């Protein structure tokens, strides 16, 4: 045994190797850099218009700001329940029950998040295992893939199909073509979706209104998609509907969870931050069956524990006011290109 006074001369030669026993995990090392952080920095550096992130150039509505001020001054500044502040989830249940054709239980069928992206992470952590596969319609919001990778889950893309008649017109040699196309002319390629669905596929991400294409799935399209998924009952649908109130040209947002038999296998994800132009509040939430929401809430509670109490109280008030003050119509009119 070495004398005690000689230990310092031995330890320095050992410590460097100990420092390198464990480094950053491969899952994180192989994650791509966050493109939104990169482009936001570039936009700020060059004074450019930032079209990369989903936030507007105008501020949060005054009635929403005032609701936050009131919530803070009224003392709503401590932890709330992991599933969401009671006043908030009760308001959401009242709002979404008629939209989903069912009476929602605010305490067991709704969960709030610190942003919809944290919601994606908590949802995947709760319902997927390493080695499972997630399918997404491409192009897609990049977090679907990066969050999947962080959880050891594989992801694969399914393309949209461009309307064949429009495609022929645009590829023709006729220089007088007057055809124009919109996101309506892209449909999910259900044949390719069916071909990619395997026993390892455990989730389909359905984003409508779609980011980045702007496509709004019609009820008929959702019904066609549902018929494919009925042949694959083990696949859960993550319906990302954060842009639900931003539809234009008279289009109405439809919800796959409202179709017969699909509420029990669908997690519908939303964003109050997108709805009220307060993305920095990080205010996402989800609606789904109790047997899924319970696990999602448990996963969510292990990281932030709960949402931000004053903002949840404020958003309960904001949603109640928005149902009567014309805010949703004003939002569409503000964002609609003339």
The fold of the 105-306 domain, in CATH, is 3.40.640
The CA–CA distances, whole Å, from 83 to 90, 105, 125, 278 equal: 11, 12, 16, 21
| pLDDT for res 166 | 76
3-state secondary structure of 210: coil
Rg (CA), the chain: 23
| pLDDT for res 176 | 61
pTM: 0.89
The CA–CA distances, whole Å, from 145 to 35, 133, 267, 289, 322 equal: 13, 11, 18, 24, 34
Going residue by residue through the chain, which has 338 residues, state the pLDDT in tens, using 9 for 90 and above.
Answer: 555 555 555 555 555 555 555 688 888 888 888 877 887 888 889 988 887 777 777 899 999 999 999 999 999 999 999 999 999 999 999 999 999 999 999 999 999 999 999 999 999 999 999 999 999 999 999 999 999 999 999 999 999 998 887 777 767 666 566 667 788 889 999 999 999 999 999 999 999 999 999 999 999 999 999 999 999 999 999 999 999 999 988 889 999 999 999 999 999 999 999 999 999 999 999 999 999 999 999 999 999 999 999 999 999 999 999 999 999 999 999 988 76
The CA–CA distances, whole Å, from 66 to 44, 71, 284 equal: 28, 8, 20
What are the domain boundaries of the chain?
105-306
| pLDDT for res 129 | 96
């Amino acid at each position: 045994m070495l004398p005690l006074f000689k230990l310092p001369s031995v330890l320095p030669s050992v410590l460097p190797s100990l420092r390198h026993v464990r480094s950053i995990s491969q899952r994180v090392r192989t994650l791509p850099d966050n493109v939104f952080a990169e482009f936001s920095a570039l936009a700020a550096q060059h004074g450019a218009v930032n079209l990369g992130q989903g936030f507007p150039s105008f501020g949060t509505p005054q009635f929403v700001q005032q609701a936050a001020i009131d919530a803070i001054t009224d003392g709503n500044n401590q932890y709330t329940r992991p599933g969401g502040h009671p006043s908030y989830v009760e308001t959401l249940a009242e709002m979404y029950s008629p939209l989903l054709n069912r009476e929602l239980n605010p305490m067991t069928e709704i969960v709030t998040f610190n942003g919809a992206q944290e919601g994606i992470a908590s949802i995947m952590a709760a319902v997927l295992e390493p080695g499972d596969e997630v399918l997404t319609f491409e192009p897609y919001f990049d977090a679907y893939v990066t969050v999947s990778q962080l959880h050891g889950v594989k992801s694969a893309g399914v393309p949209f199909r461009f309307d064949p008649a429009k495609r022929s017109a645009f590829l023709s040699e006729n220089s007088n073509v007057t055809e124009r196309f919109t996101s309506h002319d892209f449909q999910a390629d259900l044949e390719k979706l069916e071909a990619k669905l395997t026993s390892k596929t455990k989730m389909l991400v359905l984003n409508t209104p779609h980011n980045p294409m702007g496509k709004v799935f019609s009820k008929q399209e959702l019904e066609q998609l549902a018929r494919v998924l009925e042949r694959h009952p083990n696949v859960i649908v993550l319906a990302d509907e954060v842009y639900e109130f931003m539809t234009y040209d008279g289009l109405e947002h439809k919800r796959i969870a409202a179709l017969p038999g699909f509420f029990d296998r669908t997690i519908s994800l939303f964003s109050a931050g997108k709805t009220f132009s307060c993305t920095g509040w990080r205010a996402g939430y989800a609606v789904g069956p109790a047997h899924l929401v319970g696990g999602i809430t448990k996963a969510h509670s292990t990281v932030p524990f709960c949402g931000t109490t004053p903002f949840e109280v404020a958003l309960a008030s904001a949603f109640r006011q928005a149902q009567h003050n014309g805010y949703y119509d004003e939002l569409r009119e503000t964002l609609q290109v003339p």
